[in-house]
Amino acid sequence: MDILLKSIFVGLPKTVGNKEAADLMDREWTSAIFKEPVQGPIFVGKTKINGDCQGDLEHHGGPEKAVLGYSLDNYTYWQGELGYTQIIPGGMGENFSMANIDEESIAIGDTFQIGETVVQVSQPRQPCWKPARRFKIKNLALLMQNTGKTGWYFRVLQEGVVEEGQTFTLVDRLYPQWTISKCNQILHGKEQNFAEMRELAHCELLAPGMRDTLEKRVEKGEAPDIRSRVFGPNE
């Protein structure tokens, strides 16, 4: 089946919540996760899609995280298997909602042409506390991580215009062994496989920041403390 660009989403940082709320999940916070669907053609640049922005430029955005992709099938899982019917396409903050592709079938370095634009998979998304805050599900980041339904980032090799309904044409696939699912297993598996981490860190098309992260984990020989990422100010 053709890989389909089902929907495109963009958004600017937005502040919601109440500073004085008793429940931490209701406290004031700022994020660009609240994205809206785009109608018609839109330009994809080297660091972002027109009209899009990130609220946390330290952990999001830039040339290695220019576009966030997410599988449409994942929403079927969240809604059906877990009963989270409020989680609908666009809800995870993605830019590209993609049909007929998922974390098990897309890999680091996969290069696609869509319209006049060429994008390349750079790394898996490492889910943080913000989707959890949005949907009031405290352990949502852990669920995303543990199920492997994280999404992935694209770097943009050739800027251009895209439009919903277009199909992705696979141009090149250099590292089919490094699927996003496999990367997530290495990053988040209960057992630390340092040999695989070292091997993945040597993948030249993996985002440099993630390569550095893996190399440091191998050097330290221990798993990172993930609580600040997955729970953050929600606890």
Domain positions in the chain are: 3-234
Q: Give me the phi and psi of 135, to 5 degrees please.
A: -100, 5
Q: Give me the phi and psi of 9, to 5 degrees please.
A: -130, 140
Share of the chain above pLDDT 90, in %: 91
* pLDDT (mean) for 65-93: 96
* pLDDT (mean) for 228-234: 95
CATH fold of the domain at 3-234? M1 Pyruvate Kinase; Domain 3 (2.40.33)
The answer to whether the beta carbons of residues 151 and 92 sit under 8 Å apart is yes
Supply the pLDDT for residue 166.
Answer: 98
Q: Are strands 96-99 and 67-71 parallel, antiparallel or unpaired?
A: parallel
Share of the chain above pLDDT 70, in %: 97
pLDDT at 63 over 90: yes
Distance CA 43, CA 116 (A): 10
Is residue 60 very low, low, confident or very high in pLDDT (cuts 50, 70, 90)? Answer: low
Q: Which one, of 130, 154, 169, 139, lies nearest residue 70 by Cα?
A: 154
- CB contact set of 139 (below 8 Å; sequence gap of 6+): 132, 230
The answer to whether the beta carbons of residues 3 and 154 sit under 8 Å apart is no
**Which DSSP symbol is given to 49?**
B
Is residue 177 very low, low, confident or very high in pLDDT (cuts 50, 70, 90)? Answer: very high
